[in-house]
Amino acid sequence: NEYKEAHKYHEIIPIFQKFRDENLKITLHMGEIPNYQKFPFDKFIPDRISHTHFFTDKDRENYMNLSIPIEICPTSSLLCTHSKSYQDIPFKDIYNHQIKNDKMYNLISINTDDTLLLHTNITNEYYEVAKNYNFDINQMKLFVENSIMMSFEKDEIIKEKLIKKVNQFNMV
């Protein structure tokens, strides 16, 4: 609970570490409200983070410098924040931040939260990103490839096969 600070990071980081010791991957949802608690990345580096709606540019640079992959869930961001359009969601800030600093941050994956509750699916999420940001097919392929590489799949051969399939896709 980032708002009420019910959980102190010094109490939950050892729990995250126990999960990691059991070879589980950790994705932390954070920065979902204004005045969020800043996570101590110097104490624990998650395998991925998600949302970061209200992260400052400095906070973004912090996880970018640590090469922590970020999951973006466009429909969740639109429906669960004060965004009025897809162009207002954090994806724009993250993507623009990487360009603004002339540092390509390719550890962005497009995802979806709760397909049933939000009435969406991953295909729709990719469609909305492509449409609202005018990304071409090559840019969208890059997002898919990044998502594959960032996945928690341990078998690199499977990842390679999936990327090969993505690269075989041609627009008619």
Q: What is the pLDDT of residues 146-157, one digit of tens each?
A: 899 999 999 999
Mark 12-25 as b/e (b = at least 16 C-beta within 10 Å).
eeeebeeeeeeeee
* Residue that is written with structure tokens 């960032």 in the block: 150
Does the pLDDT value for residue 172 go beyond 60?
Answer: no
Average pLDDT over residues 76-103: 76
Q: What is the pLDDT of residues 32-61, one digit of tens each?
A: 877 788 888 999 999 999 888 888 888 888
Give the pLDDT confidence score for residue 64 in this predicted structure. 86
